Amino acid sequence: MRPDEKKLSYPWGDDLPEPGQALSMADGVRWIRMPLPFALDHINLWLLRDQVDGREGWSIVDCGVSREEVKDLWEQVFDNALDGLPVLRVFVTHMHPDHVGLANWLCERWNVPLHMTMTDYTTARLWSLPPGPNGAGGPNGPAAAAHFARHGLRDPDSQEKIRQRASYYPGLVPAVPDSFVRLMHGDHVSIGGRDWRVIVGYGHAPEHASLYCDTLKVLISGDMLLPRISTNISVFNYEPEANPLPLYLNSLRAYDDLPEDTLVLPSHGRPFRGIHERVAQQHSHHAARLQEVLNACDVPLSTSDIVPIMFRRELDLHQLTFAMGEALAHLHALYYEGKLNRSVDNEGTVRFTRVSES
Ligand SMILES: [Zn+2]
């Protein structure tokens, strides 16, 4: 276990829900896990006991990617974990494929509405279209390859693979429902007679929603706060001038007033207590990374030069694209703070250099 992880407490220890089964977390709150086809091999999803228009049942929070094996596991969950009751609503924290992938299938399967923020709903709908004149492709495909080349990732093999991945998002999110119920920051949603507050955060996804229930002292944090890995904060081709790192760190302030003993239910890793410690760890982690990047930029460096400085391990292509995005997010934070200069060299590569202190 990493030192930071040891400062958190894990009420369920190493217990995990069995595939297709649920583990009870709190009154009316159950935990299920689904496999993912990435290095990060699982996602946590949540079942909330609910009541809508006089009907008893369950709300689902997040969905898993669109794969037959995940649908099969959902069918087992429906058989085993819902006490014979139906699904009444689907909530999605944000538009990443592991969260929204099966939302359309679940909403159609149960004829129920999707609840999501406006920005993440519309982005998911756009990216789920097939590549072509109307498809957006997200951080994959030719536009992404050009973006990464501009930031120094030029090797032909990576370039070709990124170009070929234009169908990546629609492959994992083949459809998004054609209507939704909008979640906004500060909304209070009644789920099973309990009040859940919507807390929107930025920097990881366009408009990420987490859900907090004060009665239960439970926070469904989505990807905004994870116990082991730091949340991915990236600059990608679709918003090349973005500055997501301060957006993310400022968003974490919304958790400052939650009780110290809040049970945090994250999308990856184990449920934990120690929310304020984990928020402080995020601030110190990124402060250290920013200093490291700043120190390296005594000579003009591209984003791809920064990747091996920040990530000292072998990366597969999926991890490399996220590492590029993350490195550029740190460079942009320093650039917008006035600590780095930006220039473009003769080959068209963007480079960053430390502003001399005089
Ligand atoms: Zn995410």
CA of 324 to the centre of ligand 1 (A): 16
pLDDT above 70 covers what percent of the chain?
A: 99
CA of 30 to the centre of ligand 1 (A): 21
Residue 40: pLDDT above 80? Answer: no
CA of 125 to the centre of ligand 1 (A): 16
- Give the DSSP H/E element, type plus range, for residue 222: strand 218-222
Whole-angstrom distance, CA of residue 144 vs CA of residue 164: 10
Instruction: Name the average pLDDT for the chain.
Output: 95
Biggest CA-to-CA distance, the chain? 71
Higher confidence at residue 224 or residue 37? 224
Give per-residue pLDDT as tens, 127-184: 999 887 666 678 889 999 999 999 999 999 999 999 988 899 999 999 999 999 999 9
Whole-angstrom distance, CA of residue 167 vs CA of residue 149: 20
- Residue 170 tokens, joined: 């629609």
Residue 257: pLDDT above 90? Answer: yes
Nearest to 324 by CA among 98, 166, 154: 154
User: What per-residue confidence (pLDDT) applies to 2?
Assistant: 76
Give per-residue pLDDT as tens, 86-109: 999 999 999 999 999 999 999 999
Pair 92, 113: CB distance under 8 Å: no
- Give the DSSP H/E element, type plus range, for residue 60: strand 55-61
Q: What are phi and psi of 343, to 5 degrees?
A: -145, 165
Whole-angstrom distance, CA of residue 129 vs CA of residue 104: 13
CA of 94 to the centre of ligand 1 (A): 7
Cα–Cα distances in angstroms (integers) from residue 183 to residues 119, 198, 250, in the given order: 10, 7, 20
User: What per-residue confidence (pLDDT) applies to 39?
Assistant: 72
Buried b vs exposed e over 47-81: b needs ≥16 C-beta within 10 Å? bbbbbbeeeebbbbbbbbbbbeebeebbeebbeeb
Give per-residue pLDDT as tens, 113-137: 999 999 999 999 999 998 876 666 7
Would strands 55-61 and 42-52 be described as parallel, antiparallel, or unpaired?
A: antiparallel
Q: What are phi and psi of 211, to 5 degrees?
A: -125, 130
CA of 204 to the centre of ligand 1 (A): 6
CA of 186 to the centre of ligand 1 (A): 21
Pair 341, 352: CB distance under 8 Å: yes
Q: Report, as an integer, the average pLDDT of 296-314.
A: 95
pTM for the whole thing? 0.95
CA of 101 to the centre of ligand 1 (A): 12
Q: Report, as an integer, the average pLDDT of 326-350.
A: 98
pLDDT above 90 covers what percent of the chain?
A: 89
Higher confidence at residue 52 or residue 165? 52
The helix/strand/coil state of 158 is helix
Give per-residue pLDDT as tens, 183-211: 999 999 999 999 999 999 999 999 999 99
The helix/strand/coil state of 138 is coil
Would strands 114-117 and 87-91 be described as parallel, antiparallel, or unpaired?
A: parallel
Pair 126, 136: CB distance under 8 Å: yes
- Residue 152 tokens, joined: 């120094």
**CA angle 184–70–238, rounded 5-degree value:** 45
Three-state secondary structure of 164-193: HHHHHHHHHCCCCCCCCEEECCCCEEEECC
Residue 85: pLDDT above 90? Answer: yes
User: What per-residue confidence (pLDDT) applies to 38?
Assistant: 74
User: What per-residue confidence (pLDDT) applies to 6?
Assistant: 82
Pair 229, 278: CB distance under 8 Å: no
Cα–Cα distances in angstroms (integers) from residue 287 to residues 279, 324, 357, 358, in the given order: 13, 18, 19, 23
CA of 223 to the centre of ligand 1 (A): 5
Q: What is the identity of the amino acid at 290?
A: L
User: What per-residue confidence (pLDDT) applies to 134?
Assistant: 62
CA of 97 to the centre of ligand 1 (A): 8
CA of 102 to the centre of ligand 1 (A): 15
Higher confidence at residue 37 or residue 135? 37
CA of 357 to the centre of ligand 1 (A): 37
Pair 52, 37: CB distance under 8 Å: no
DSSP single-letter state for residue 9 = B
DSSP single-letter state for residue 219 = E
Residue 4: pLDDT above 80? Answer: yes
Whole-angstrom distance, CA of residue 114 vs CA of residue 126: 16
